[in-house]
Amino acid sequence: MTEYGKTLRATATPIPGLTVWQLPVHGDNRGWFKENWQRAKMVAAGMPDFGPVQNNVSFNDAVGTTRGIHAEPWDKFVSVATGRIFGAWVDLRAGPTFGTVFTIELDPSRAIFVPRGVGNSFQTLEPNTAYTYLVNDHYTPGIDYPSVNPADDALAIDWPIPLERAELSAKDRAQPNLGQVSPVAPRKTLVLGAGGQLGRALLRAYADTPHVEFADRSDLDVTSGDVESARPWRDYDMIINAAAYTAVDAAESAEGRVAAWAANVTAVTALARVATAHRITVVHVSSDYVYDGTSSRPYLESDAFAPLGVYGQTKAAGDRIVETVARHYIVRTSWVIGDGRNFVRTMLSLAARGVAPSVVDDQFGRLTFTTELARAIRHLTETRAPYGTYNVTGSGPVTSWADIARRTFAVAGYDPDRVRAVSTAEYFASATAPVAARPANSALDLGKIEATGFVPGDADEMLVTFVQAATRATHGAPG
């Protein structure tokens, strides 16, 4: 019998993500009323904001009508409008809970949220039962998804009405047993910019994760205008955008300005559209160049943008676009060091060749190694940290570029006094090509990401490790 007056509440089950929902039903002499789906209240109570797009109703005349067990490629919220059902759910997702079964009776006062990949089935316990479900993808004929035989002894489902006496379709009676079912793979993650410094670090960070795909611009050009058809996006759960135009000075030229806006704004807009349409989480990498560097303290994620040049303007615009995506992480960083050409490798090369470099001493910040960025991205997404913007750099003292150059020389066994400290104005005084203005203060406050349980590595310790490894790789001898 339907119970009245209970409060909205969720209860976990042995199947991860499968939650039973107690629904408030209000009754009087006329009948009853309930809010079957109330987004604001349910999300506040812990329901995933799964974005339903289609509402289906299954009306069943007879007691014992049995449907399922099917694991369609979408999430669903199942409830009963009238009557009563015995529901059975089987986890068909790859992983340690594959094959786990959960059963419960549903009436109008009890509903259940079923995540993608969990097989869903029911048996009616009263005549004229109306079973309803919200789903977050449109049904398309020909979609392939696993089903399992409801009579499989391995499942040991105690159907109230034995299946030999139940109303069951011939198709459901012919479904394979659990041992013949291929588990549902997780929705995929797509890493863009796979050939860049961060892309290569992400490739190593996700080496143990087969559902992560990597693409460079030759695989997927997000400025091409056909991004919507570039992938079967219903199969993807996350896009990590490690692609960007980063030639800060070249962006000040006519050609560079066009290229920077295309990669950092137009492409990001296309990704945002895809992510919004398909409920995909976007991870986007931002830059200290969105600030003018005049702050007397490390920058907070909430500080106002004030970019000094074209590159900074495009990164700021890209950030604002990504913020429109419901599920987003913006990882703001500075002074990135990874595989390929970078400041530390340049200093090592100059040191080995006997050059005494001039390095600016009026720009301040912290180095960020791509391994740290990749680790932070995986931490934020796997711990399901609140969506939003997070600063990510190495930890430790704020230093100048000249300080880092001297430290690099010293660790590699060269005389650090060979590094000559100069002002930014002096360094670029003889430049003949356009030069972008640099923020004087690039230090970023790390409190927000630390509050999620992430402990940033010490920038100096990582620099020492990087220099020692690079020195061994090149067999350079101190000069």
Instruction: Identify whether the C-beta of residue 447 lies closer than 8 Å to the C-beta of residue 395.
Output: no
Residue with tokens 């809970």: 97
- The token duo for 214 is 């990597």
Residues forming beta bridges with residue 65, ordered by sequence position: 167
- Rounded to an integer, what distance in angstroms lies between the CA atom of residue 275 and that of residue 278? 5
User: What is the rounded distance in angstroms from the CA atom of residue 250 to the CA atom of residue 256?
Assistant: 5
Question: What is the distance between the alpha carbons of residues 203 and 206, in angstroms, rounded to a whole number?
Answer: 5
Q: How far is CA 396 from the centre of its chain?
A: 27
Half-sphere exposure of 377 (CA within 13 A, CB side): 32
Within 8 A by CB and 6+ apart from 194, the residues are: 200, 202, 203, 214, 215, 216, 219, 242
What is the rounded distance in angstroms from the CA atom of residue 198 to the CA atom of residue 286?
Answer: 12
| Three-state SS at 99 | coil
Q: What is the DSSP string of 389-413?
A: EEE---BS--EEHHHHHHHHHHHTT
Catalytic residue numbers, as ranges: 70, 133
Written as six digits, the tokens of 458 are 């010490």
Angstrom CA distances, 400 to 228, 275, 350, 369, stand at: 44, 38, 18, 16
Nearest Cα to Cα of residue 297 among 437, 446, 404: 446
Quick check: helix, strand or coil at residue 131?
strand
Whole-Å CA distances, 36 to 39, 54, 75, 280:
10, 14, 16, 26
Element spanning 268, H or E:
helix 267-278
Cα gap 393→372, rounded to integer Å: 8
CA torsion angle 256 259 263 268 (round to 10): 100
Q: Residue 302 is encoded by which pair of tokens?
A: 């909430």
| Polymer length of the chain | 479
**Pairing outcome for strands 54-60 and 364-365:** unpaired
